Structure 1
Amino acid sequence: MPPTPTPTAANRGAFAPLATAAALLLALTACGSPGEEGGDTEADASGAAFNTSPEQDRIRAEPVPEIAGLVPGEIRDSGRLTVGFSTGGAPPLNFYADDDETLIGHETDIAQIVADKLDLELDPRPTSWDNLFLGVESGQTDVAISNVTVTEERKDLYDFATYRIDTVSFEVTEGSEIEEISEPADVAGLRIGVDAGTNQEDILLRWDEENQEAGLEATEILYYESAADYYLALRSGRLDAWLGPTPSVNYHVETAGESTAVGTISGGGDIRADIAAMTRKDNGLVEALGAAVDSAIETGEYQEVLDRWALGNEAVESSEINPQGLPREEE
């Protein structure tokens, strides 16, 4: 897997990229016998499994002519929906299958059912995080479906159709005395691990400032770039908890069987945050994308994909076009 760019203010609000997460999770978990879908699986102690083979047997959807008719003529005539995916992601969002070549995960599954609804062939375009945005802006890709959070700054250049709520979760080891983290006072005096330059770091910094102003004990915030390092710190007791994107936390909880999630909050902290399909501003595609997501919600494929990757708690009731995004840095 290619190296992941260091998060910057420009990509805050997206999940913290974890360049080594896929390899770590494969090492942490046992490969079971081929599952019903075919191929290898990663399983937790309860028997829950994820198909990590290149033979994904993806959930498919039927075309909807009236929605396909909303697609701009140039894209419709090509017969393809070119979709950008960041290769710096972590399971279960975007990651490489056991062959180290096939990109799989929740985002590719969502892209497949959207393309199906639009009666287009899915044309995946794996790329780096930075080039994900450049590809959409330049028109090299029609849309990015890669855990992109809606922000007011991004709305200057792109249109968005939401398909998932953006949340982050606190993870602790099995047997931890910490039962719940849901508000600032809950992190007072704890050692919390986080990736630098992310929205979850901003949340912790705000919570710690609020606690200290209230006379509570400070939170020790520790920074990690490697998934291997922060999970080792968690297991060894050097961390009380890890704060990361809910999808990757849930995936690790399910597959490794050594930890538990004790609290989930908005990726914007006190502000709702949304994950959305991102297309070039005013290119005419966003309405079709939103309608395709809404149709998949109505006919059930959307929920099937969420359930397949244990992301049911991030479901949306409908797709929203260009909702209020996370505020600009200066706001």
Structure 2
Amino acid sequence: MPDIRTTATRRVAAGIAVAALTLGLAACGSDGGSDAAAPAAADAKGTVVIGAQSNGAAKEITLTVPEVAAIRAELPKSVLDSEQLVIGLGFLPAGSPPIGYVGADQKTITGSEPDLGRLIAAVLGLKPVLSNATWDNLFVGIDSGKTDVGFSNITDTEQRKEKYDFASYRQDNLGFEVKKSDTWNFDGTYRSLAGKTVAVGAGTNQEKILLTWQSELKADGKKLTIKYFQDSNSTYLALGSGRIDAYFAPNPSIAYHGTQTAGSPNATRGAGKFSGAGASLQGLICATAKKDSGLAKPLADAINHLIKNGQYAQWLAAWNLANEAVPASLVNPPGLPLTNS
């Protein structure tokens, strides 16, 4: 049975699959159970195009990222000898804008996750080889050694640490989406939701959090109304018509929807975020490698090099995810506890 964070990650894909299909971003591959290689958005060695073929979800920029010999030297011999970094993605069958999907040319894998993989490969002096699969087969690839590292919005949990090593690179956040004209903002506490009507996906991590807040408000003599809709289109119709005040969803999907509606009568914006791990722990999204593979430290060092040199901030800003920045990449940081993972 999948843990609650796995369920939430899957529902990021499900919740915005309709938008992806509307944009004509159907993923490639013969079926949802097999890996599908895709070309990298790179030109010369050390040149990485961020947001290539993103169909407006990102601002396309070109970054020059030279190899760092000292970090490359930390790599396991098997990876050095292969001269490539096999990057596992779990975005079949429909893709998950903005974190990973097939671009406007119907062949380039684009998104914040594959772009970070390309940047890290450049620091390591390796050729990025993208392998897109279903969520389950992403981990099969890591377990079998076919895949070096997964970049697929993977949350650090103590349960997963039994099999994998992590290098953190982004906060795992949920967020509130409102009409752009709405002045309300979530202040980080459940009390700011008093009197609000909020939509949420059934069976998700965010639903669990919202139901807890609803109970706490009820104990205070106040009301939070929770609404459920069959799909994201219905949710956004309700938001646009004022039948709901906000939508509580994964922060990346909110960022993506904001870029797609900008300038339209139905423009939306993010109105505050909350850790996917709850109030007591900041959830973290991590590069994920097989346990004891020797990859976690060079991956973290590569990320920290990108942070120090500014390319990390440029990558996040291009994908409208600057509010999920971390100050540093950590190897195997505290993860979602076994009691809640």
Q: Please tell me whether the aligned partners of residues 5 and 205 of structure 2 are also in contact (alpha carbons under 8 angstroms).
A: no
Q: Aligned pair in 2 of structure 1 residues 282, 101: CA closer, same or farther (>3 Å)?
A: same
Deviations 1:180-213 (A, max 9, x none): 4531122234322222333212211221122222
Q: Please tell me whether the aligned partners of residues 7 and 197 of structure 1 are also in contact (alpha carbons under 8 angstroms).
A: no
Tell which deviates more after alignment, 8-17 or 201-210: 8-17
1:246-325 equivalences in 2 (<5 Å) = 246-257=251-262, 258-270=267-279, 271-325=281-335
Q: Aligned pair in 2 of structure 1 residues 151, 215: CA closer, same or farther (>3 Å)?
A: same
Q: Please tell me whether the aligned partners of residues 172 and 283 of structure 2 are also in contact (alpha carbons under 8 angstroms).
A: yes
Q: Please tell me whether the aligned partners of residues 181 and 187 of structure 1 are also in contact (alpha carbons under 8 angstroms).
A: no
Q: Please tell me whether the aligned partners of residues 163 and 275 of structure 1 are also in contact (alpha carbons under 8 angstroms).
A: yes
Q: Aligned pair in 2 of structure 1 residues 157, 68: CA closer, same or farther (>3 Å)?
A: same
Partner of 1:21: 16
Partner of 1:11: 6
Q: CA deviation at 1:7?
A: 7.4
Q: In the comparison of the two structures, how many residue pairs are matched?
A: 308
Say which of 169, 180, 188 aligns to 2:175. 169
Say which of 228, 240, 248 aligns to 1:223. 228
Q: CA deviation at 1:262?
A: 1.5
Q: CA deviation at 1:280?
A: 0.6
- What residue ranges of structure 1 are gaps of 5+ in the alignment? 1-5, 29-35, 43-48
Deviations 1:44-64 (A, max 9, x none): xxxxx735xxxx665341111
Q: CA deviation at 1:174?
A: 3.0
Tell me the percent identity: 36
- What residue ranges of structure 2 are gaps of 5+ in the alignment? 24-49
Q: Aligned pair in 2 of structure 1 residues 323, 103: CA closer, same or farther (>3 Å)?
A: same
Mapped partners of 1:90, 1:192: distance in 2: 23
Mapped partners of 2:216, 2:55: distance in 1: 43
Q: CA deviation at 1:81?
A: 0.6
Mapped partners of 1:275, 1:163: distance in 2: 6
Partner of 2:116: 110
Q: CA deviation at 1:15?
A: 6.9
Q: Aligned pair in 2 of structure 1 residues 122, 40: CA closer, same or farther (>3 Å)?
A: closer
Deviations 1:149-205 (A, max 9, x none): 111111111100001111111011233363445311222343222223332122112
1:241 is the counterpart of 2:246: yes
Mapped partners of 1:177, 1:300: distance in 2: 32
Q: Aligned pair in 2 of structure 1 residues 117, 236: CA closer, same or farther (>3 Å)?
A: same
Mapped partners of 2:180, 2:61: distance in 1: 33
Mapped partners of 2:323, 2:222: distance in 1: 31
SS state at 2:203 partner: coil
Mapped partners of 1:40, 1:122: distance in 2: 18
Q: CA deviation at 1:21?
A: 2.5
Q: CA deviation at 1:39?
A: 6.3
Q: Please tell me whether the aligned partners of residues 13 and 326 of structure 1 are also in contact (alpha carbons under 8 angstroms).
A: no
Root-mean-square deviation (Å): 2.7
Partner of 1:80: 84
Q: Aligned pair in 2 of structure 1 residues 80, 275: CA closer, same or farther (>3 Å)?
A: same
Q: Which runs of 4+ in 1 moved over 6 A?
A: 36-40
Aligned-partner residue type, residue 21 of structure 1: I
Q: Please tell me whether the aligned partners of residues 304 and 329 of structure 2 are also in contact (alpha carbons under 8 angstroms).
A: yes
Mapped partners of 2:144, 2:334: distance in 1: 24
Tell which deviates more after alignment, 126-135 or 11-20: 11-20
Say which of 314, 320, 338 aligns to 1:328. 338
1:125-144 equivalences in 2 (<5 Å) = 125-144=131-150
Aligned-partner residue type, residue 50 of structure 1: A
Aligned-partner residue type, residue 77 of structure 2: G
Q: Please tell me whether the aligned partners of residues 94 and 104 of structure 1 are also in contact (alpha carbons under 8 angstroms).
A: yes
Mapped partners of 1:10, 1:263: distance in 2: 20
Q: Aligned pair in 2 of structure 1 residues 298, 181: CA closer, same or farther (>3 Å)?
A: closer
Aligned-partner residue type, residue 88 of structure 2: G
Mapped partners of 1:38, 1:95: distance in 2: 11
Mapped partners of 2:89, 2:72: distance in 1: 22
1:213 is the counterpart of 2:219: yes
Mapped partners of 1:59, 1:267: distance in 2: 30
Q: Aligned pair in 2 of structure 1 residues 8, 100: CA closer, same or farther (>3 Å)?
A: farther
Q: CA deviation at 1:108?
A: 1.1
Q: CA deviation at 1:286?
A: 0.6
1:50 is the counterpart of 2:45: no
